[in-house]
Structure 1
Amino acid sequence: MFALGDESSNPKGYIMQGRESLIVKIVVFCVLFCALFRTMDILIHRIYAAKDRSCERHCSGFFEYGYAIKPWLKNAAIIATCWLPYEFWLFPGVYWSDTSKQLLIHYGAERFTDHHPFTLTYIVGWFADFGQQVFHNPIYGLYLLIAIQLIAAPLVFSWMLLYTRKMGIPQWLCHVELAFFALFPFFPVMFSSLAKDTISVLFFIPFCILFIDGIRTKGTSLVRPGTIIALTLCGLLTCLTKKAGMYVIIPSMLLMFLIAGVSKKAKTIAFAIGTAIAVVMIIIIPKTVMPTLGIAPGGKQETIPFAIQQVAHDVKYNNKDITPQERKLISDFLTIDYKSIPTAYDPQIADPIKGTSLRNPELFNDFIKLWLKKTAEHPIGHLEAWMGLVHGWFSFSNNDGSPNDMVVCTESAWYYEPILKYVPQWPLKANRSDTARSVYNMEQSLPILNALFSRALWASILPCFMLYLALRRGKGKWSRVASMLPVDMSFAYLLLVPTSGMGGEPTRYVLQLICIAPLFLAFMSTTTKSDTIR
């Protein structure tokens, strides 16, 4: 995948231009990752084999990691304090184009659809109205929502930190984890912005902690009423604030029966929670709630961006094979005209072709049949189109040759223009956005530390390393794979997104994997000390 990703990292998105180079890249990446994974595996075993001797007795008492209220609040305060410079520089917040679209829906300038989660549209609208009523500025109301994020995020990160210590990671690694949460600039920048991803992940992190706790306690915690309620609410709110969350939450709960050691009662409860969330998200909300509120469903094109991109690739490069009937089907299905596709096609992003709606959704099944037919006719072309969308997860360079680092937004310059009519105070630039950008870029350029800013590290390398830890031992390996389902499904979701190597969009897509990586790395490293889940 990395060989293909590197091959497709060019302005045209071509792959397999030279078989020799592709073979060399495959060999190099195979050797590189085998050596890297094996080295990290040995390092983990040495860490846990060594006694946490002097650190436990002689470390400063200021840093505490006991599973209690005082250390939880203290570490959260440390994280929040370290974030303050970025919070000051980025006041009154960074707002994405999706936020402006949701506000336009709230103000009645756009049709109310579930293209963006309707619950989040209501929340954004309420806070904007509050800001207008109290401060005569909707932006200040929205910043109140960002302030809630900036309080909640350190609290859930501190909880994760204490829980990883409870799992058995050495105290010095807790210091490293605390430094990561407090000093990695990605976190204060992202949580100083407002998007469905930044809100949803605040429910997703507690869900993952409770999920792992249920496995570690062999299901004992899952039968407690408080845990059942918390898991259900966190899972449901994750899905309501980011629709893609249900592709992670629901399978994680439904497939817990695959995990060895968990009691049958706990597995039944987990299955019931997953089923309940599925019923709410798939039946009750679209069939009852949304029609009652007058909310139209989101476009079906969001479920097949890769298929649309692959057919567009055929139009651009293999149009002689497309019949007049197929051309008409494509024009009737998509909002873009067939003749405009070759010019609009961008190998890095599906949006120019996909659009935000469909001309005729009734042709969905016919389009899928056409896509399957063209996949059989031009498999390499479809692989090329798909790699153009996902190469950011599997490469170290962008199409223009620049490093494949995480791009963050430090200003609200990406918005739908009509929003200025309804919110004239729209902050095109934050308080000190140039300062925030300059400092972030400096930290991103530091040798060795710049590896932390790689999209590929979080999107594919660490998930695959955790998969390696799960599978490298014989007994109970599939149980371990099932126990990291939130990571598995988050990774699988990335393979379906409409862009991975362009601008700041990929950064928010990978946010949830970055946030839960320390938790699952600690979990997998402790469970693989033996052959069974502990």
Structure 2
Amino acid sequence: MQLTLGETGLILRPPTVAQTLLCALGAFVIAIADRAAVYASIGPLDAALWLRAVKLFAVLLLFCLIGELLVTRGLLHTNDSVGLNSRDPDGSSTSRSLSHRAPSWWARRSAGFRGCCLTICLAGAMLLCWSPYIKWLYPGLMWYDTGDEIAQFYGIAALGQPAGVISAHHPVFDTIVFGGFAKAGELWFGDYQAGLTVLVLLQMVAMCIALSASVVYARHVGAPFGSVITLFVFYAFFPFLPIFFMSLVKDSLHAVFFVPWLLMYIETCRQRLRSLRSIWFTVGFVALSVLSALTTMTGFYITALSLLGLVFVGRETENGGTSSQRKPVAMTVLRGVAATVAVVVILLVHTVFPAVTGKIWNIHHEDQNQILVVPMQMTARYVLDHPGDVTDEERHIIDTLNNVPVEQMKEVQNPYLADPVMHLSLKDPSYIGQYVSVWLKQGVRHPDSYINAFVSLESGWFSLQRTAHKETGPLPLDVLRADSRSIPNQVLIQGDNAISPSFAQMPQYRGNESGQATVRRIWQSVSSTRVLRLLTYTAVWSFILPLFLLFCAIRGRGRDIGERLMIGAPLIWSLLSLLPNAISIPLKPTASRYIVWSLYVVPLYVALLRADGVRSPAAKHRE
């Protein structure tokens, strides 16, 4: 049964069973996360929680249905009014019709030339829109972690390491880039901050180009004109983006390489690996893959896992088509190239780069304690809830592994931040195996503590509200229960310089305090304005919009679901990479920094969903 809305031709289709269950699950997750984000506990599962879940289900289902209606309305045309030629997925080149107003010389230009011209024009317009933020935040915002990295590059003790040692707690590549630009500014301009200013301005220009290229690419693959205009307007006018990219932090540097890499990855999937026939494309793809993997810790896993998944591109179509369509030999060769790309990237990032940098700088490779952040937080909650149910042997193993002993966990524990119970390194990493055994045994004895700890720590990615407390130190459960005030769970910006003790030993980092105050007022205004403030909710970007993309993908697509998921692999891995973090509720800007990528990735995927170009050749053939 379908509902046609008047004379518009818009058809509102009822949800499938899978879509209904997806929205029901999503509503329940949000309701549970809301409670955990305020009380640090999911219980009790009372009538109030179920009533909120029902309300959320109705709103979420309506949102997804209307969104699907808007995304899939009408036929998706393949003609392009700006005249960008597109190579169809079957390998044939199709010239898209030009607007009748387009001059003939423009029609004779190559698709690449037209795309570059449009990208440059849009980038100039976007940079103009971002220019007030450049003025207000010039010469750039300094983040706490970045200051530590620069200080270490200059030989100052930081992050628990002695002078002259660079810690691998933060990506070494970022430390080299930040420190290198600071040193260049000192040598060429007599001021290290001048070099960092050049870096942040280059970063702004590069992001304008990268985001404009995303807009042009969305149009290139078939997104309607209105959709790409909306995409451009969001990139150009949503304040968080220029504020963040005027910041010196590893995630902003990562975006410079991740966005063009993502476009190349999507194009590789769309072309069913045929893009890898081009040597220059493949070389550029490898280079961007390496740079994307080196600039954040999670970037390596996102990039590597996505690249490894390329060997499965087109298998559904290949297995279901005729023998003439399958071309198994050609696809096998291309899959071999894709596998080679993945292996080369992994070797360069994990073997070659550490070997080269280790010969130049004194680098201390930290313990891989990041994988234990969430488990140790669960252990701390277990100790808090059941202090008398920890054996002497278990206590010895935990105390030997971790720098924070069992006796101190109750005093320092914060249900929304794992840093107090997990320091930068482990006391004795050889006890990891024994700790895993202890962790499993305690989880079997009292799974409720583990569930409450995990849900509380991760609640910020899914909740619409959060506790009003903002302590980054100890936060007792009794305090939360006695004062259960809640506030909207919104993205938190860093609108001023955060100077670490180690960076404070360098010459003073100057900032535009009046301009920073203006930026903070702008963000406060956006965060409090009706409708517009919905875009500032963390869960909108980390859960609700990704859920909407899945909602649209699962309606009757058959084999096409797998192909869409393959295109969305970087998004999926990026979302999963949020879970091992030590914070989700923005008690400090770090939590919001982890989700910034979603503000430029998810809108692109929505535009691609609107585009006919993201469909597989098999899907087009079946239609």
Alignment equivalent of 1:30, drawn from 37, 54, 57: 57
TM-superposed CA distance for 1:415, in Å, is: 3.0
1:382-428 CA-to-partner distances (Å, cap 9, x unmatched) read 1211122211110111211221111111101x332232122x31236
Does the C-alpha gap of structure 1 residues 188 and 379 become closer, same or farther in structure 2, counting only changes over 3 Å? same
TM-superposed CA distance for 1:286, in Å, is: 4.7
Which whole-Å CA distance do the structure 1 matches of 2:359 and 2:189 have between them?
Answer: 34
The worse-fitting range, judged by mean Cα deviation, of 31-40 and 121-130 is: 31-40
Q: Quick check: 1:221 aligned with 2:305?
A: no
Does the C-alpha gap of structure 1 residues 361 and 59 become closer, same or farther in structure 2, counting only changes over 3 Å? farther
AA aligned to 2:548 is F
Q: Quick check: 1:402 aligned with 2:482?
A: no
Which whole-Å CA distance do the structure 1 matches of 2:78 and 2:333 have between them?
Answer: 37
Counterparts of 1:244-259 in structure 2, within 5 Å, are 244-259=298-313
Local SS of the residue matching 1:402: strand
TM-superposed CA distance for 1:219, in Å, is: 2.2
TM-superposed CA distance for 1:67, in Å, is: 4.6
TM-superposed CA distance for 1:150, in Å, is: 0.6
Counterparts of 1:453-468 in structure 2, within 5 Å, are 453-468=536-551
Which whole-Å CA distance do the structure 1 matches of 2:372 and 2:619 have between them?
Answer: 37
Residue of structure 1 in register with 2:574 after alignment: 490
Relative to the length of structure 2, the TM-score reads 0.80
Residue of structure 2 in register with 1:520 after alignment: 605
Contact 1:207–1:234, Cα closer than 8 Å, also in 2: yes
Residue of structure 1 in register with 2:15 after alignment: none
If you compute each CA radius of gyration, which structure gives the higher value, 1 or 2?
2
1:107-137 CA-to-partner distances (Å, cap 9, x unmatched) read 2223322110111111111111122233333
Which whole-Å CA distance do the structure 1 matches of 2:554 and 2:349 have between them?
Answer: 33
TM-superposed CA distance for 1:49, in Å, is: 5.7
Residue of structure 2 in register with 1:159 after alignment: 213
Alignment equivalent of 1:4, drawn from 15, 22, 32: 32
Q: Quick check: 1:322 aligned with 2:376?
A: no
Contact 1:258–1:479, Cα closer than 8 Å, also in 2: no
TM-superposed CA distance for 1:378, in Å, is: 2.2
Which whole-Å CA distance do the structure 1 matches of 2:353 and 2:271 have between them?
Answer: 33
**Unaligned runs of at least 5 residues, structure 2:** 1-28, 83-97, 104-110, 319-330, 469-485
Contact 1:67–1:166, Cα closer than 8 Å, also in 2: no
Contact 1:466–1:521, Cα closer than 8 Å, also in 2: yes
TM-superposed CA distance for 1:342, in Å, is: 0.8
TM-superposed CA distance for 1:157, in Å, is: 0.6
Contact 1:286–1:297, Cα closer than 8 Å, also in 2: no
Which whole-Å CA distance do the structure 2 matches of 1:532 and 1:319 have between them?
Answer: 59
Alignment equivalent of 1:104, drawn from 151, 154, 157: 151
1:130-150 CA-to-partner distances (Å, cap 9, x unmatched) read 222333332222121111101
TM-superposed CA distance for 1:360, in Å, is: 1.2
Which whole-Å CA distance do the structure 1 matches of 2:99 and 2:458 have between them?
Answer: 48
Residue of structure 1 in register with 2:401 after alignment: 333
AA aligned to 1:9 is A
Residue of structure 1 in register with 2:445 after alignment: 377
Q: Quick check: 1:478 aligned with 2:525?
A: no
AA aligned to 1:405 is Q
Residue of structure 2 in register with 1:95 after alignment: 142
Q: Identity of aligned pairs, percent? A: 24
The worse-fitting range, judged by mean Cα deviation, of 482-491 and 38-47 is: 38-47
Does the C-alpha gap of structure 1 residues 281 and 365 become closer, same or farther in structure 2, counting only changes over 3 Å? farther
Number of equivalences: 529
The worse-fitting range, judged by mean Cα deviation, of 276-285 and 523-532 is: 523-532
Residue of structure 2 in register with 1:85 after alignment: 132
1:31-89 CA-to-partner distances (Å, cap 9, x unmatched) read 3322221221122121546999999979999xxx9952221111000100000111111
Which whole-Å CA distance do the structure 2 matches of 1:52 and 1:216 have between them?
Answer: 18
TM-superposed CA distance for 1:243, in Å, is: 1.9
Counterparts of 1:285-434 in structure 2, within 5 Å, are 285-286=353-354, 289-290=357-358, 293-400=361-468, 401-412=486-497, 414-422=498-506, 424-427=507-510, 430=513, 432-434=515-517
Contact 2:403–2:423, Cα closer than 8 Å, also in 1: yes
Which whole-Å CA distance do the structure 1 matches of 2:511 and 2:401 have between them?
Answer: 36
Does the C-alpha gap of structure 1 residues 95 and 500 become closer, same or farther in structure 2, counting only changes over 3 Å? same
1:226-249 CA-to-partner distances (Å, cap 9, x unmatched) read 111111111110111112111111
AA aligned to 1:6 is D
Local SS of the residue matching 1:398: strand
1:233-289 CA-to-partner distances (Å, cap 9, x unmatched) read 111101111121111111111112332258333322222111222223334445675
Does the C-alpha gap of structure 1 residues 290 and 431 become closer, same or farther in structure 2, counting only changes over 3 Å? farther
Which whole-Å CA distance do the structure 2 matches of 1:171 and 1:507 have between them?
Answer: 31
TM-superposed CA distance for 1:27, in Å, is: 2.6
Residue of structure 2 in register with 1:274 after alignment: 342
AA aligned to 1:211 is Y
Residue of structure 2 in register with 1:74 after alignment: 121
1:190-236 CA-to-partner distances (Å, cap 9, x unmatched) read 00001110011111111110111112223221221111111111111
AA aligned to 2:389 is D
Which whole-Å CA distance do the structure 1 matches of 2:440 and 2:267 have between them?
Answer: 42
Which whole-Å CA distance do the structure 2 matches of 1:474 and 1:131 have between them?
Answer: 54
Which whole-Å CA distance do the structure 1 matches of 2:76 and 2:217 have between them?
Answer: 20
Which whole-Å CA distance do the structure 1 matches of 2:55 and 2:101 have between them?
Answer: 42
Contact 1:88–1:431, Cα closer than 8 Å, also in 2: no
Local SS of the residue matching 1:175: helix
Which whole-Å CA distance do the structure 2 matches of 1:284 and 1:79 have between them?
Answer: 37
Which whole-Å CA distance do the structure 2 matches of 1:297 and 1:429 have between them?
Answer: 36
Contact 2:80–2:219, Cα closer than 8 Å, also in 1: no
Contact 1:480–1:533, Cα closer than 8 Å, also in 2: no
Local SS of the residue matching 1:508: helix
TM-superposed CA distance for 1:291, in Å, is: 6.7
Alignment equivalent of 2:266, drawn from 197, 212, 219: 212
Residue of structure 2 in register with 1:125 after alignment: 179
Which whole-Å CA distance do the structure 2 matches of 1:290 and 1:469 have between them?
Answer: 47
AA aligned to 1:462 is L
Which whole-Å CA distance do the structure 1 matches of 2:382 and 2:121 have between them?
Answer: 57
Which whole-Å CA distance do the structure 2 matches of 1:145 and 1:242 have between them?
Answer: 17
AA aligned to 1:19 is D
Which whole-Å CA distance do the structure 1 matches of 2:601 and 2:128 have between them?
Answer: 21
Which whole-Å CA distance do the structure 2 matches of 1:333 and 1:28 have between them?
Answer: 45
Local SS of the residue matching 1:115: coil
The worse-fitting range, judged by mean Cα deviation, of 465-474 and 84-93 is: 465-474
Residue of structure 2 in register with 1:444 after alignment: 527
AA aligned to 1:365 is G
Local SS of the residue matching 1:335: coil
Contact 1:181–1:187, Cα closer than 8 Å, also in 2: yes
Does the C-alpha gap of structure 1 residues 240 and 293 become closer, same or farther in structure 2, counting only changes over 3 Å? same
Does the C-alpha gap of structure 1 residues 4 and 51 become closer, same or farther in structure 2, counting only changes over 3 Å? same
Local SS of the residue matching 1:408: coil
Which whole-Å CA distance do the structure 1 matches of 2:552 and 2:312 have between them?
Answer: 18
The worse-fitting range, judged by mean Cα deviation, of 127-136 and 92-101 is: 127-136
Does the C-alpha gap of structure 1 residues 268 and 469 become closer, same or farther in structure 2, counting only changes over 3 Å? farther
